[in-house]
Amino acid sequence: MKRLAFLSIVLCAAGCSGVGPVTDTTDEAPPVVLLDETVALEAIRDIREAQSAFMATRRRYAQFMEELIETRMLPAEPSWTDSGYAIRLRPTPAADGYSATVTAPPGADSRSFFVDDTGVIRWARGESASAESSEFDESAE
């Protein structure tokens, strides 16, 4: 913004007439991202499988998504732009467990998902899922 304002001042000081107002477009609304529950479920399952494989080879769980990607346990970091969900991986301090959440935006009446080192996927509607949430019936999907 400062650069555009400076350029406008320089042009006007140089005697250029007809220079209109400089418009800052950096405050435009972000693109609309539609919620895709199928992609969200795929992300939580991929994280669960990647963590299981990581544990089998490293004798601990990954602390960060980058570890799963660097070891090729996960092809790429799941993105909120693909699903519309916030995706988080949280390790335990001793790396002997983890939890991952795939959470719908606040106010959305959509399911959010949770998985931890038990491998059980859990879900909640309209709020973040946790270890206390209802168990997700994978056979019904």
The whole-number mean pLDDT for each consecutive block of 10 residues of the chain, a chain of 141 residues, reads 38 43 48 76 95 95 94 85 88 91 91 96 95 91 69
Q: What is the dihedral of CA 102, 136, 48, 111, to 10 degrees?
A: -10
- CB 62: neighbour CB atoms within 10 A? 24
97 inside domain: yes
26 inside domain: no
Q: What is the dihedral of CA 58, 64, 67, 69, to 10 degrees?
A: 130
7 inside domain: no
Give the CA distances from residue 81 to residues 37, 84, 134, in Å, rounded to whole numbers and listed in that order.
12, 5, 26
13 inside domain: no
109 inside domain: yes
Of 107, 132, 108, 104, the residue nearest 41 (C-alpha)? 104
138 inside domain: no
Whole-prediction pTM value? 0.72
Which pLDDT belongs to residue 46? Answer: 95
Which pLDDT belongs to residue 51? Answer: 96
Number of domains the chain is built from: 1
In which element (H, E) is residue 10 found? helix 2-13
Which pLDDT belongs to residue 27? Answer: 58
119 inside domain: yes
Q: Which domain holds residue 114?
A: 37-130
18 inside domain: no
Provide the token pair at 19.
Answer: 């220079």
Which pLDDT belongs to residue 22? Answer: 43
